[in-house]
Amino acid sequence: MSTYVVMAPPEFDDVAGDPNQTDRLEFVPDGFSTLAFLFSLIWMLVHRMWLVLLGYLAVTLVVELLALAVSEEAMAVVAFVIAILFAFEAQALRRWSLERKGWRVVGIVDADSKASAELRFLHKAADHLSPERMRQSVRRPAPSPIVPRIGSEQVVGLTLGPENRQ
């Protein structure tokens, strides 16, 4: 099973709202990304991760120039290690990029696939807002705060309000 982080865009209101809005939810898996390992640059471009792309190119350039000064074999090993490290952190960097754009985390789901994660999350959200629960929440009045008073004056701490001090 994989863990998926459910992220909603900035203008997203509520899961129980418009069903067309739920199509905009992003289910980001946690863990190693094979596509990010094999096609790092293309993967970042597809997910529109511009700052991550610039950072990746800068780090890769510096490390490969240092490795080139040592030997060509070292350059190949360093490129492989960078690709592996990026593949392990790619999804976390994707979540970070979405959060920078104003997206927010609305849930976490464990599932075997993305489709299964979507079903579990939306089913859980629908159960959470079932008609029985909505009726119960309507029946209960909102609790009103207890305001201590002496006569018509509000008590502040152990004294009357500031307007009555002399």
How far is 14 from 119, CA to CA, in rounded Å?
16
**Backbone phi and psi for residue 99, each to the nearest 5 degrees, phi listed first:** -65, -35
Query: Rounded to whole angstroms, what are the CA distances from 158 to 146, 147, 149, 154, 155?
Result: 15, 13, 11, 11, 7
11, 24 in Cβ contact below 8 A? no
Question: What pLDDT is recorded for position 79?
Answer: 87
Question: What pLDDT is recorded for position 76?
Answer: 84
- Helix or strand run (H / E) with residue 35: helix 34-38
pTM above 0.85, yes or no: no
The domain locations on the chain are 2-160
Question: What pLDDT is recorded for position 137?
Answer: 46
Per-residue pLDDT 10s for the chain (166 aa) are 889 999 998 887 766 556 667 788 899 999 999 999 999 999 999 999 999 999 999 998 998 888 878 887 888 888 899 999 999 999 999 999 999 999 999 889 999 999 999 889 888 877 765 555 545 544 555 555 666 666 666 666 655 555 555 4
- Helix or strand run (H / E) with residue 28: strand 26-29
Contacts of the segment 51-58: beta carbons below 8 A, 24+ positions apart: 51/97, 51/100, 52/93, 52/96, 52/97, 56/86
